[in-house]
Structure 1
């Protein structure tokens, strides 16, 4: 540290003169030469005046430094007393480095003032900064939680959309599968029906070789079940083939002749019993060509068309009695079942 320059000797002035620490009366002796040093300079509290030193810039800067340090320390102590909290630790700058930073120019003084202002920060400012940091941290945490919750909501929404889409896709797939199964079932059924028809057609074609219509050059003039007074039962019990008298009557299928002769209102009648027990009645014949017990084959002549019995004209009246029953069935349907179309 540089030495202080000695202050010039002040001449004696007979009036009150400003000296360090107060005024001197006129009758008092001179106080002598004053050469303050760093050790002899004690901090003065309260308002005070000092004689302006005209020496080097260090004395003036030292005063400013001392006042600034005192103010900073006092401010820190007052803040600690007011807040009831322990005083803030203040790191005092090294005087050697501070003296190297302080110069006579205004820029250096402003830098020193700024440095001491930062050193003199109170615990209230520190508490405020801590409170601001805590508030910012709370705000950040709230925003983070909100972001997480929003992400969860978005995830749930996306999962709901995906689930709905999957449900629709599953429903569409199930519907398509059901339709495909229905189409396949319908196609299979149609194919089976077609196959059955073909099989039936083949069977009927084969049966047609075994069965034949009872006559030729005919006209259907009466069908099974017709109602009217012409029939004693009140309805027609057979199928009528109108044809000229004398037209040949043939055995529809192979079998045995179980009746041949007069049968009242049926006229001359021949009954052919097939191997399954079905009886075929050929009525109103003009003549009979077979006898009871005779075996006949398909297409063999068994008689001729006539108009005997209860008739209005020449025709063949055909009845079908399954198992020899008294009640007959529709001859038209039975013939078609054998591959024949009257």
Structure 2
């Protein structure tokens, strides 16, 4: 609690007019004697601890009583302001004092000090602490500024996130597009390669067909009006080797036998289980054996062309019926190969 210091005691000066009341602003007579200088000290000015009063002065009692009343009013006003300040936490109260025309007019020696104490309202009005509108306004402005900065930072971060997302999406789209282009190029290349391979295969087939067609003009089947009764590699007790070593063309006896290609007759005559057999050696060294003939129409060393007659179908040797037994021996080897496959390689279909 805040309190005002009491007015200092005036020094005691003996006076001839001790019974007279000191009046503020009154005239001083010569009988009262000269003024003495008063030098206040800490002991004379400082009030006793915890007490707020002015000692009653002997002699000039009017000034003391007026000072006491004034001090009490000020203390009450200040005490009220201090309590208001402590309770509200606001700025200290303001106290206004009216102009006092004459302190002596407030109290006199004839009345007790307790009865002449003026009310607080006579010394002025104590204004209640007013709400400080500036501080909340400043706090609101600061809060709004902080909010604005936070929102700006959030918007900036959001913009950065959106920008990064857009960049990532653009990169992903570019990568996807690049992958799609690479895939399309790869597929196009694969299709081109497949088309090229297909075209090459078709060209090869056409070339082979042309070659076979050309060979077909150079090669021919060994007989006509026939039926294939036994193929190469068949197993059975009829053959001394345990399997069939050639291709059988069953046909009536006397059916013409022709040279499958141009070459030279290297053997013609009887050959045991083969019966009458003719051997035609081609230009590449391949030997063609004709067996079980009923007759031979050529001789050794004779040159023949494709389609020339070299004998007739018969049933000589180890047979069960009239047929032409044909064998193919590449390079004159002892073991032969499949005559059907060899004929097909020459463009013929037995």
- Asked whether the two chains share a fold, i.e. TM above 0.5, the reply is yes
Where does the alignment leave 5 or more consecutive residues of structure 1 unmatched? Answer: 1-21, 25-44, 51-120
Give the secondary-structure state (helix, strand or coil) at the position aligned to 2:316: coil
Q: Residue in 2 aligned with 1:179? A: 187
Q: How far off its partner does 1:245 sit?
A: 1.1
**Of residues 216, 220, 239 in structure 2, which corresponds to 1:212?**
220
Shift in Å at residue 142 of structure 1? 2.2
Cα offsets for 1:51-88 (capped at 9, x unmatched): xxxxxxxxxxxxxxxxxxxxxxxxxxxxxxxxxxxxxx
- 1:259 deviates by 1.0
Does residue 221 of structure 2 align to residue 170 of structure 1? no
1:41-52 equivalences in 2 (<5 Å): 46-48=97-99
Partner of 2:336: 328
CA distance in 2, matches of 1:301, 1:208: 17
| Deviation by residue 1:60-118 (Cα, 9 ceiling, x = unmatched) | xxxxxxxxxxxxxxxxxxxxxxxxxxxxxxxxxxxxxxxxxxxxxxxxxxxxxxxxxxx
Equivalent residue number for residue 235 of structure 1: 243
1:41-120 alignment, distance < 5 Å: 46-48=97-99
Distance in 2 between the 1:194 and 1:126 partners? 99
Q: Pick one of 228, 234, 237 that aligns with 1:226.
A: 234
Q: Does 1:151 align with 2:151?
A: no
- Higher Rg: 2
Counterpart secondary structure, 2:204: helix
Shift of 1:129: 5.8
**Which SS does the other structure have where 2:269 is aligned?**
strand
Instruction: Tell me the TM-score normalized by structure 1.
Output: 0.62
- 1:225 to partner: Cα distance: 1.3
Q: Comparing 251-260 with 130-139, which one deviates more in the overlay?
A: 130-139
CA distance in 1, matches of 2:194, 2:152: 61
Report the number of matched residues. 233
CA distance in 2, matches of 1:181, 1:49: 116
Task: Look up the SS of the partner of 1:209 in the other structure.
Answer: helix
Moved more, 240-249 or 169-178: 169-178
The answer for the alignment partner of 1:266 in structure 2 is 274
Q: What per-residue deviation string (whole Å, max 9, x for no partner) do you get for residues 234-292 of structure 1?
A: 21111111111111111110111111111111111111111111110001111111111
Which deviates further from its counterpart, 153-162 or 182-191? 182-191
Which of 181, 186, 200 is the equivalent residue of 2:208?
Answer: 200
Q: Distance in 2 between matches of 1:221 and 1:23?
A: 170
> Which residue matches 2:259?
251
Shift of 1:160: 2.1
Distance 2:240 2:178 in 1: 70
Secondary structure of the residue that 1:137 maps to in structure 2?
helix
What TM-score do you get using the length of structure 2 for normalisation? 0.60
What is the alpha-carbon distance in structure 1 between the residues aligned to residue 332 and residue 163 of structure 2? 84
| Aligned residue in 1 for 2:284 | 276
> Residue 218 of structure 2 aligns to a residue in which SS?
coil
How far, CA to CA, are the matches of 1:177 and 1:230 in structure 2? 64
1:144-175 deviation line (CA, Å, top 9, x unaligned): 22111110111111222223333333333333
Q: CA RMSD in A?
A: 2.9
Q: Secondary structure at the match of 2:233?
A: coil
Q: Match of 2:294? A: 286
- How far 1:46 moved relative to its partner? 2.6
